Amino acid sequence: MSQRFSAVKGMNDLLPPEVRTWHLLEARAREGFHRFGYEEIRTPILEETTLFVRSVGEETDIVGKEMYSFEDRAGRSLSLRPENTAPAARAYIEHAVHVREPVTRWYYVGPMFRYERMKTGRYRQFWQMGAEAYGSAEPAQDAELIDLGLQLIDTLGLQGVRLELNSLGDETCRPAYLAALSDYLRAHQSELCPECQARLGRNPLRVLDCKNPSCQTVVAGAPLVLDALCEPCRTHFGALRRKLDAIHAPYTLNPRMVRGLDYYTRTAFEFLADAPALGTATAVGGGGRYDRLVGELGGPPVPAVGWAMGMDRLCLLLAEKGLQEESAPELFVAVADAAGQDQAFRMVSELRRSGHAVDFDPRGGSLKSQMKRADKSGARFALVLGERELASGEGELKPLGGGETVRVRLDSVAAALLASRR
Ligand code: HAM
């Protein structure tokens, strides 16, 4: 017996009905990115492993246990990208983009890879769309990106997505906060899970992120980063909040949200959805400011801020609402007289060339079976080419969803279809 193959665990095939939802998402997202002046970049799916170690952080789950890393034939350690902020920053530096423009706004859409425990909305190959803005340290840039995220969610008609906001401080105030946090956590060391006990010395912020209930109990009493911000960080956060208020962007403060990646400074935020379709995987997006990353990766000291949204999760929400791209053809051409096959084929080709979505049954067959297929296609109209139509050069556009039949000359079907759209 021959071997049967299936897709790699955690990696999904997307078949046509689902892809229609993806098209709708991508189309609306691109529209939104362009409206805000963001341009698309496409970077490779593979990067050097050290790029992620140095940016996302060695102590994070992503780098510590979720990367698909391997040696290539020359012995270099490469990784499938688990996220795209680091690759985008790498490209920004490599192409010296800062020399050409003071502010750069990029977006991307593509697959990412994390070896995670799977559940609904959490996969090993998943898609992100993200936006990154380089060159501005101003709170207005953070606010613009958050506005972009909120507007995208609105244009998708998704309700019930909420925004959580925090500030993680910077190199001035964070060390003192980390010291206070470490002291507190050390005092509760025995109540922490083994992994957090190990993390304590190296990266205590990660403990705030731990989902283990006993760690969460400890975290509930931990000092809050928002209480420890230095004056410039406090001013930045205050100005951001005023800007969000000015555009009536609703948000809640979550002083315990630290995000799962190490590169953030100051602003951090997440878009969360409580929807049955997502199970407990509630974050549909997240991001923040990372003013030191470009410099740490060997580039100029350019501040930056960005976010990424999980497209698989957004699609689950859209599917729950029954939203997808319209894909039905405008017209189905059926042939009742074998002599009309070639003429029908030419008509279909010409109508498609002039911009109409037209379908036909390439197998020919009985008129009954063709009409069945026409109904199934969801086409708005059917046109039957029989002996009479071919002889007279006239036919009928029959609305398949009911309604008046429209008489047309066979050489002006395109015009009739256009008129019917109005
Ligand atoms: P992240 O929070 O790791 O941030 O991922 C962003 C979003 O990607 C999540 O909110 C979630 O919707 C989606 N996502 C993450 N992992 C999975 C998964 N295994 N399956 C399905 N969806 C998933 C980042 O990646 C940062 N690079 C965001 C950023 C951009 N920060 C600044 N700029």
User: Under DSSP, is residue 69 helix (H, G, I), strand (E, B) or coil?
Assistant: strand
pLDDT reading at 281 higher than 80: no
Name the least confident of 71-80, 230-239, 252-261. 252-261
Identity of residue 88: A
Which pLDDT does position 421 carry in this prediction?
78
Q: How many angstroms is it from 83 CA to the middle of ligand 1?
A: 7
Select from 92, 126, 258 the residue to mutate for testing ligand 1; criterion: most ligand atoms less than 8 Å from CB. 126
Which pLDDT does position 47 carry in this prediction?
98
Ligand 1 pocket by Cβ (under 6 Å): 83, 85, 114, 116, 121-123, 126, 128, 130, 132, 260-261, 283-288, 306-310, 312-313
Over the stretch 349-406, which tens digit does the pLDDT of each residue have? 999 999 999 999 999 999 999 999 999 999 999 999 999 999 999 999 999 998 999 9
Which pLDDT does position 321 carry in this prediction?
86
**Long-range pairs of 139-145 with CB within 8 A, sequence gap ≥ 24:** 139/236, 139/237, 139/239, 139/240, 139/243, 139/267, 140/243, 141/305, 142/240, 142/243, 142/266, 142/267, 142/289, 142/305, 143/240, 143/243, 143/244, 143/247, 143/249, 144/36, 145/287, 145/305, 145/306, 145/307
Over the stretch 76-123, which tens digit does the pLDDT of each residue have? 999 999 999 999 999 999 999 999 999 999 999 999 999 999 999 999
Q: Which two tokens stand for residue 27?
A: 């189309």
pLDDT reading at 1 higher than 80: no
pLDDT, mean over the chain: 95
Select from 128, 289, 316 the residue to mutate for testing ligand 1; criterion: most ligand atoms less than 8 Å from CB. 128
Name the least confident of 16-25, 107-116, 290-299. 16-25
pLDDT reading at 277 higher than 90: no
Select from 56, 90, 112 the residue to mutate for testing ligand 1; criterion: most ligand atoms less than 8 Å from CB. 112
- pLDDT bin (cut points 50, 70, 90) of residue 323 is confident
Residues facing residue 285 across a β-bridge: 271, 309
Q: How many angstroms is it from 292 CA to the middle of ligand 1?
A: 20
pLDDT reading at 279 higher than 80: no
- Rounded Cα distance, 46 and 175, in Å: 33
Work out the average pLDDT over 40-67: 96
Which ligand 1 atom sits nearest the alpha carbon of residue 259?
2
Q: How many angstroms is it from 255 CA to the middle of ligand 1?
A: 20
Residue nearest (by alpha carbon) to ligand 1 atom 22: 310
Which pLDDT does position 127 carry in this prediction?
98
* Alpha-carbon distance values, 130 to 26, 179, 220 (Å): 12, 33, 31
- Rounded Cα distance, 264 and 287, in Å: 8
Q: What is the dihedral of CA 383, 384, 387, 389, to 10 degrees?
A: -20
- Rounded Cα distance, 58 and 51, in Å: 11
